[in-house]
Amino acid sequence: MPNKQVIVLGLESSCDETAAAVVTGEKQILANVVRSQIKEHTPFGGVVPEIAARAHVTEMDRLIDRAMREAGIGYGDLSAVAATAGPGLIGGVLVGLMTAKAIASVAGVPLIGVNHLEGHALTARLTGDVEFPYLLLLVSGGHSQLLIVEGVGRYRRLGTTIDDAVGEAFDKTAKMLGLGFPGGPAVEKAAKSGDPTRFSFPRPMKGRAGCDFSFSGLKTAVRQAREKLGDGATDQDIADLAAGFQAAAIESLMDRVTQALDIFQNEYGAGGTLVVAGGVAANQQLKASLEELAAGAGIRLVVPPPKLCTDNGAMIAWAGVERLRAGFTDPLDLAARARWPLDPDAEPAPFAGYKA
């Protein structure tokens, strides 16, 4: 067949979701199977790396089999196999990458090691018409970053967190308030019946130059307020704390995005596109605030559907499609990396990682 359709299998296993998906070059998601490990980690109130790695080992083969059957294709139909090669919990990353290597060598197709953040960064191009360059707000459990996406493999980081990631701050706040795991949705739900003005929490980094984030001071302020209320805290107290935290976190995020928008529009002119990715993008309050900000700045806001904002295999498969088209494939001795910044200039030499 001269014009064989591009079809990529994508595997994700860098945190607590085991996922496999099949995506075509024409942006069709033929299968997107995700298995969350929430049940395994709930008793511990957070993700336990060893438990995560074991669950990925147990589940990955079964999920790939399901994805391939749902897509109605055989391994011979694949153009490439993509897997998250980092950053993330190294035991989990190894599971997906090793599996992808095995499939690539047996099926005789290229291996593509995808940076998990690149997966989030390019999702908006799978779900809609988004041209390079665009501004990206990446807000997940492990990352808070503002980046200019210039092209496939070309990312310029404008800001990152100097302590906790936003999602992590939501998760830790939920734990302090006894709202359970994962915390983001629980805090958002509790905040709905709370008064965001009752507690005056700090807006970290607000008014500061640059686009970096910080959330640990806010977290400490919430903890102190919670402790002051003691054992007699009512449901209303908890709702007010959740609402106060959420309002402060979002206001601080908006300030950072405003700074980044200035930089982006100064460089590329008025208009443009702001893309939001990562699990926290599911937060409706955040979305409403971003819509208001984007309208004021005359920039188009793109938020992919929540299912594709949280960790999934389709984003890795799509990044594989984009990398394959750009001519980026990887050797079978590609190393898995616990740390791997998207922008190589943004940090000193990354952690060398392990050979997978």
Binding mask 120-159 for Zn ion (x = CB under 5 A): --------------------x-------------------
Q: In the set 82, 280, 334, 356, which binds ligand KG4 (CB under 6 A)?
A: 280
Residue 171: name its binding partner from Zn ion, ligand KG4, none (Cβ under 5 to 8 Å by kind).
ligand KG4
- Closer CB to ligand KG4, 104 or 238, in the complex: 238
Residue 282: name its binding partner from ligand KG4, Zn ion, none (Cβ under 5 to 8 Å by kind).
ligand KG4
Q: In the set 188, 311, 322, 330, which binds Zn ion (CB under 5 A)?
A: 311
User: Binders of ligand KG4: how many residues, by CB under 6 A?
Assistant: 20
**DSSP 3-state of 99:** helix
Q: Does 46 bind ligand KG4 (CB under 6 A)?
A: no
- Least spacing, CB of residue 149 vs ligand KG4, in Å: 17
What gap in Å lies between CA 15 and CA 316, rounded to an integer?
A: 14
Residue 145: name its binding partner from ligand KG4, Zn ion, none (Cβ under 5 to 8 Å by kind).
none
Residue 144: name its binding partner from Zn ion, ligand KG4, none (Cβ under 5 to 8 Å by kind).
none
Strand partners, 146: 137, 159
Q: Does 164 bind Zn ion (CB under 5 A)?
A: no
- Least spacing, CB of residue 119 vs Zn ion, in Å: 7
Q: Does 304 bind ligand KG4 (CB under 6 A)?
A: no
- Closer CB to Zn ion, 244 or 279, in the complex: 279
Residue 128: name its binding partner from Zn ion, ligand KG4, none (Cβ under 5 to 8 Å by kind).
none
Residues 184-213 close enough to bind ligand KG4 by CB under 6 A: 184-185, 188
Looking at the chain, how many residues does it have? 356
Alpha helices in the chain (DSSP H): 38-41, 49-71, 90-107, 116-127, 166-176, 183-191, 216-229, 235-268, 284-297, 306-309, 314-326
The dihedral sign for the CA sequence 309, 313, 318, 319 = positive
Residues 6+ apart with CB under 8 A from 260: 135, 137, 146, 158, 159, 211
Q: In the set 10, 119, 279, 320, which binds ligand KG4 (CB under 6 A)?
A: 279
Residue whose C-alpha is closest to residue 205's, from 251, 169, 172:
251
Orientation angle between helical segments 235-268 and 166-176, nearest 10 degrees = 170
The dihedral sign for the CA sequence 43, 44, 50, 52 = positive
Q: Which stretch binds ligand KG4 (CB under 6 A): 97-105, 138-146, 192-200, 322-330?
A: 138-146
Residue whose C-alpha is closest to residue 19's, from 329, 318, 334:
318
What gap in Å lies between CA 216 and CA 46, rounded to an integer?
A: 17
Tokens of 217: 């001071």
What gap in Å lies between CA 99 and CA 327, rounded to an integer?
A: 22
- Indicate the residue type of 320: G
- Closer CB to ligand KG4, 86 or 182, in the complex: 182
Tokens of 5: 């359709």
Residues 74-93 close enough to bind ligand KG4 by CB under 6 A: none
Q: In the set 84, 127, 214, 310, which binds ligand KG4 (CB under 6 A)?
A: 310
**DSSP 3-state of 84:** strand
Residue entry with tokens 């709202």: 179
**DSSP 3-state of 21:** strand
User: Binders of Zn ion: how many residues, by CB under 5 A?
Assistant: 2
Residue 280: name its binding partner from Zn ion, ligand KG4, none (Cβ under 5 to 8 Å by kind).
ligand KG4
What gap in Å lies between CA 147 and CA 343, rounded to an integer?
A: 9
Q: In the set 87, 113, 119, 141, which binds ligand KG4 (CB under 6 A)?
A: 141
The distance of Cα 149 from the centroid of its chain, to the nearest Å, equals 15
Residues near Zn ion, by CB under 5 A: 140, 311
Residues near ligand KG4, by CB under 6 A: 15, 140-142, 167-168, 170-171, 182-185, 188, 278-280, 282-283, 310-311
